[in-house]
Chains A and B, each alone.
Chain A
Amino acid sequence: MNKSSKEIAGYTNWRKKLILTIIWGSFSIVVINFICLNFGVVSVHPKEIFSLLWGSSHDKTNSLIIWQLRFPRIIMATLTGIALSTVGGAFQGILRNPLADPYILGVSAGAALGACTAIFLQYATGYFLTPYLPLFALTGAMLSIYLVYMTAKVRYRLPLEGLLLSGVTVTFLFSAIITILIALSEKGLHSMVFWLMGDLSTANWNKITIVTFPVIVGCLIFFFFSLDLNALSLGEEEALHLGVNIKKLRLRIFIIGSIIIASVVSFTGLIGFVGLVVPHIARLLVGPDHRVMLPTSALLGAIFLPLCDTLARTIIAPSEIPIGAITALIGAPVFIHLLRRKSTKNGL
């Protein structure tokens, strides 16, 4: 396969854009992380935070608050932001649908069903299953992906409408089962509902170690599909002519995306809107070339989610607002604005 054959006219200067994006993005992530570190119910002086980070301060309480509670949470938010935005962008690409998000193909419903099953079984059987919850979530995500794929595939093709509809249907089906589990489980109810709302407060370094690999590696792999995604954005037939194996591409992005989302979502629960809105913002900023758009969207996600989480934990401190509410509250108006702008531009 000759890569240059997939080049699309107009997508020039991508190297320059990418390098700029990465430099700006990494810089912003560091700054945002540090800013977020400064906000919390307990105020710790920035100077003290610096010395805690350098290891020159030994205040036990502050060190616990910054190193074990606040920092892991921010890092987890960063990773989750990267994962949701990248997968959202890639899914929008393979589905050729601007309304696609990481959850639209049932991955989240599967992961949620897995997690809720684990919680349900824990209370029903008495086995302490919490440590295996991510495994359950991943299994659930895989199951949903398999179901969606099997329902959608027509011989050697994965038609778009079928894929979307089966994704939505599987989501409904799994949500129904989750509802039943919630109705049956009195003691687990609390944990389940909480999980479904999305929550970063349980982040710790162990979880981050587990999540980092699939997120970073998965998102890097997505980057190598950029050219194929670019070709696909021209249309299925055009992509076929350019030598893209659409079925394989969809399948791969599906599977890798589901692994990324399952690994993140099983620790954080369902955080909405990030995966839908951030890729659009990225597209608006750097254009539709996936080689630049996907990394930009990852970096924007890494900035957006820690900020939302910081708001979620400080606005009504010491109480917390579920992060899903904040992302939607900020995300929805931005999204509406973008949609309006685009439609007026196109003269619609």
Chain B
Amino acid sequence: MKFCNKLILTIAFLLLILSSLLSFSFAEASNYPLTIIDDTGSAITIPEEPQRIISTAPSNTEILFSLGLENKIVGVTNYCNYPEKANNVEKIGEMTPLNLEKIASLKPDLILGYGLYQLGEIAPLKEAGYNIIIIEPMTINETLKSIRMVATICGITEKGNSLVESLTQRINKIKTKTSNIDISKRPKIFIGGIYETIWTPGEGTLFNELITLAGGRNIAASLPGWAKISPEFVAKEEPEIIIIPIGAMGQVDESNIKENISKHAGWSNIPAIKSGKIFVVNEDLFYRAGPRLIDGLEKLYEIFYE
């Protein structure tokens, strides 16, 4: 009896995998129902082309808009401020805790979530049969893959492919420009902040990948994840360029930020401060795993070499 159960389970499982593989290979034709394996490894079947989409992260919102799906978005978070039109979409509240009542009331047929923590929060809706896809790209390649996945789910595979194609071309352009630059000639980069405590992106972060791709040497590249570092560490590494990512561009006084950084105790000998190479940039271009990462990449290259 037990053996029988196991056998049935195994067969069912194999069938599930097979069917998802099949649907992936036939995804080109966008024939629904469609089974997708999201970034948490769970298989989700999309019964028909989604018409009411909710995005629970700014990066997802940007992906949806870049694919021209704006008319199908029925809800975004308080933080979704790009493109401009995203401000006109109904707000579902914070990224966490997700307001499930609000989400359910918008009657979505697709919810694009972000991160494992949202998967935990959104469980009641998942149990109630809502289609939930969790996107959590860790690298630029995975971000491109996510864009393709969203396009496939929404029945516009072609559009997704061409968007990813053009983004890839822009990445390659930067790659060819930087590939011949000798390691020792690449500028040492420090990503700072406007707060006393310094958190900087290290290995495994999108920001670090972008710096490397743009031909820079991140002084925190050997530290894992987002690392809290001491001012001493920065002084010792002698960065040649300091980049300050901030949110809410245009609302803070850039020169003020630059002056604060230059006056930091013990940093007067840092090359970047001596030469005044301090740049304030829009953090959204580097934190949000969407198509604007490539804008960020180009921005970094511009800062490093132009």
> Could you tell me which A residues sit within 8 Å of B by CB distance?
40-42, 61, 64-65, 68-70, 130, 183, 186-187, 190-191, 194, 199, 201-202, 204, 313, 317-320
1/0 contact string of B93-104 vs chain A (CB within 8 Å): 110111111101
Cα–Cα distance between A41 and B125 once the two chains are bound (Å): 16
Cα–Cα distance between A200 and B124 once the two chains are bound (Å): 13
- The answer to whether A41 and B226 touch across the interface, beta carbons within 8 angstroms, is no
Cα–Cα distance between A301 and B94 once the two chains are bound (Å): 28
Cα–Cα distance between A70 and B78 once the two chains are bound (Å): 22
Which residues of the partner chain A approach B125 to less than 8 Å between Cβ atoms?
Answer: 64
* The 9 A-B residue pairs with the shortest CB-CB distance in the complex, in nearest-first order: A318-B93, A42-B105, A318-B102, A318-B99, A201-B97, A186-B225, A319-B93, A41-B102, A319-B94
- The answer to whether B124 and A69 touch across the interface, beta carbons within 8 angstroms, is yes
- The answer to whether A204 and B124 touch across the interface, beta carbons within 8 angstroms, is yes
- The answer to whether A199 and B124 touch across the interface, beta carbons within 8 angstroms, is no
6 A-B pairs in the complex with CB atoms less than 8 angstroms apart:
A61-B107, A65-B101, A65-B104, A65-B105, A201-B98, A320-B97
B214 interfacial contact with A, CB 8 Å: no
Residue of B nearest to A122 (CB): B116
Cα–Cα distance between A320 and B101 once the two chains are bound (Å): 12
- The answer to whether A201 and B91 touch across the interface, beta carbons within 8 angstroms, is no
Which residues of the partner chain A approach B98 to less than 8 Å between Cβ atoms?
Answer: 201
B121 interfacial contact with A, CB 8 Å: yes
- The answer to whether A320 and B99 touch across the interface, beta carbons within 8 angstroms, is yes
Out of B99, B101, B116, B121, name the residue touching A319 (CB < 8 Å): B99
B13 interfacial contact with A, CB 8 Å: no
Cα–Cα distance between A223 and B127 once the two chains are bound (Å): 39
Residue of A nearest to B99 (CB): A318
Which residues of the partner chain A approach B224 to less than 8 Å between Cβ atoms?
Answer: 186
- The answer to whether B128 and A64 touch across the interface, beta carbons within 8 angstroms, is yes
Which residues of the partner chain A approach B92 to less than 8 Å between Cβ atoms?
Answer: 318
Which residues of the partner chain B approach A130 to less than 8 Å between Cβ atoms?
Answer: 120
Which residues of the partner chain A approach B226 to less than 8 Å between Cβ atoms?
Answer: 186
- The answer to whether A40 and B101 touch across the interface, beta carbons within 8 angstroms, is yes
Cα–Cα distance between A319 and B99 once the two chains are bound (Å): 7
- The answer to whether B124 and A194 touch across the interface, beta carbons within 8 angstroms, is no
Among A41, A130, A187, A199: residue with most chain B CB under 10 A:
A41
Cα–Cα distance between A68 and B125 once the two chains are bound (Å): 9
Which residues of the partner chain B approach A69 to less than 8 Å between Cβ atoms?
Answer: 100-101, 104, 124
Cα–Cα distance between A187 and B116 once the two chains are bound (Å): 9
Q: How many A-B residue pairs have CB under 8 A?
A: 68
Cα–Cα distance between A190 and B104 once the two chains are bound (Å): 24
B117 interfacial contact with A, CB 8 Å: yes
CB distance from B65 to the nearest CB of A (A): 21
- The answer to whether B104 and A61 touch across the interface, beta carbons within 8 angstroms, is yes
Which residues of the partner chain A approach B91 to less than 8 Å between Cβ atoms?
Answer: 318
In chain B, positions 102-155 with a C-beta closer than 8 Å to chain A are 102, 104-105, 107, 116-117, 120-121, 123-125, 127-128
Cα–Cα distance between A313 and B104 once the two chains are bound (Å): 15
Cα–Cα distance between A73 and B134 once the two chains are bound (Å): 24
- The answer to whether A191 and B105 touch across the interface, beta carbons within 8 angstroms, is no
- The answer to whether B78 and A194 touch across the interface, beta carbons within 8 angstroms, is no
Which residues of the partner chain A approach B102 to less than 8 Å between Cβ atoms?
Answer: 41-42, 317-318
Cα–Cα distance between A65 and B96 once the two chains are bound (Å): 18
CB distance from A49 to the nearest CB of B (A): 13
Which residues of the partner chain B approach A65 to less than 8 Å between Cβ atoms?
Answer: 101, 104-105
List 7 additional contacts besides A65-B104, A187-B116; criterion CB under 8 Å: A61-B107, A64-B128, A201-B100, A317-B99, A317-B102, A319-B78, A319-B94
Which residues of the partner chain B approach A41 to less than 8 Å between Cβ atoms?
Answer: 93, 99, 101-102, 105
CB distance from B143 to the nearest CB of A (A): 18
Which residues of the partner chain A approach B123 to less than 8 Å between Cβ atoms?
Answer: 204
Residue of A nearest to B92 (CB): A318
Which residues of the partner chain A approach B127 to less than 8 Å between Cβ atoms?
Answer: 68
Residue of B nearest to A204 (CB): B124
Cα–Cα distance between A70 and B105 once the two chains are bound (Å): 13
Out of A64, A70, A183, A199, name the residue touching B97 (CB < 8 Å): A199
CB distance from B253 to the nearest CB of A (A): 28
CB distance from A313 to the nearest CB of B (A): 8
- The answer to whether A61 and B124 touch across the interface, beta carbons within 8 angstroms, is no
Cα–Cα distance between A326 and B102 once the two chains are bound (Å): 21
Which residues of the partner chain B approach A194 to less than 8 Å between Cβ atoms?
Answer: 96-97
Cα–Cα distance between A288 and B92 once the two chains are bound (Å): 47
Given contacts A41-B99, A61-B104, A64-B104, contact A202 B93 (CB under 8 A): no
Cα–Cα distance between A204 and B98 once the two chains are bound (Å): 15
- The answer to whether A320 and B225 touch across the interface, beta carbons within 8 angstroms, is no
Which residues of the partner chain B approach A318 to less than 8 Å between Cβ atoms?
Answer: 91-94, 99, 102
- The answer to whether B128 and A202 touch across the interface, beta carbons within 8 angstroms, is no
Which residues of the partner chain A approach B93 to less than 8 Å between Cβ atoms?
Answer: 41, 317-320
Residue of B nearest to A189 (CB): B226
Out of B78, B101, B116, B120, name the residue touching A202 (CB < 8 Å): B120
Which residues of the partner chain B approach A186 to less than 8 Å between Cβ atoms?
Answer: 224-226
Cα–Cα distance between A317 and B105 once the two chains are bound (Å): 13
